[in-house]
Amino acid sequence: SYPVLMAADILLYKGTLVPVGEDQVQHVELARVLARKFNRAYGETFPEPKPKLNRAARIMSLTDPTKKMSKSHGESSYIALTDEAAVIEKKISKAVTATAGGGKNPGVENLFAIMREVSEPATVSSFMEQERAGTIKYAEFKKRLAADLAEHLAAFRARRAALDKNPK
């Protein structure tokens, strides 16, 4: 029933552009189909929403970068929008970067995907160059990522706290 509930949430607020990960696009498509059918039966009521994917269309678990980020994998596997800076730093510092085998490292790629969304392009470029050169210090990389991510979420946390204080 999750896809139908998501479609209902989208349609209820007459969303037109819905930010989702690539694994949620099919749910937005269901909302489009339902809007079309409802509008055909009862008149123009709901806009047909479209998915909005960002560059990091799928963020993986911090503890197992072969699985998508999810609350069902445990508290340390994801960053909550309400996590305070210290919690974010702790979670990012424990994020998987070392994996067996050669080639691209999924843990590192995942952290770079997050960094590309929340950090300045110059910061991303600097750490990517260090990664290519083999001189990157993951502790510094993670510390910077955690700080940038905490700053990125600060306005959301502040607004949420203000709304929590005044539930009316």
For 116-164, write each residue's pLDDT tens digit: 999 999 999 999 999 999 999 999 999 999 999 999 999 999 999 999 9
Mean pLDDT of all residues in 40-56: 91
**Confidence check: pLDDT of 99 > 70:** no
d(CA 73, CA 64): 9
d(CA 17, CA 163): 24
Please write down the HEC assignment for all residues of 87-107. HHHHHHHCCCCCCCCCCCCHH
100 or 156: which leads in pLDDT: 156
Closest CA to 109 of 155, 152, 62: 62
Mean pLDDT of all residues in 30-49: 96
The answer to whether the CB of 138 falls within 8 A of the CB of 144 is: no
Confidence (pLDDT) at 21? 79
Confidence (pLDDT) at 80? 93
Closest CA to 145 of 75, 105, 68, 90: 90
The answer to whether the CB of 127 falls within 8 A of the CB of 135 is: no
d(CA 142, CA 91): 10
**Confidence check: pLDDT of 71 > 90:** no
Lowest mean pLDDT among 13-22, 106-115, 129-138: 13-22
For 27-37, write each residue's pLDDT tens digit: 999 999 999 99
Q: Which of 18-22, 65-69, 111-115 has the highest mean pLDDT?
A: 111-115
Report CA-CA distances (Å) from 50 to 4, 14, 81, 82, 120: 16, 11, 23, 27, 28
Longest dimension (CA), the chain: 62
Mean pLDDT of all residues in 5-31: 91
Confidence (pLDDT) at 113? 92
Q: Residues of the chain with pLDDT > 70: what percent? A: 96
d(CA 73, CA 76): 8
**Confidence check: pLDDT of 112 > 80:** yes
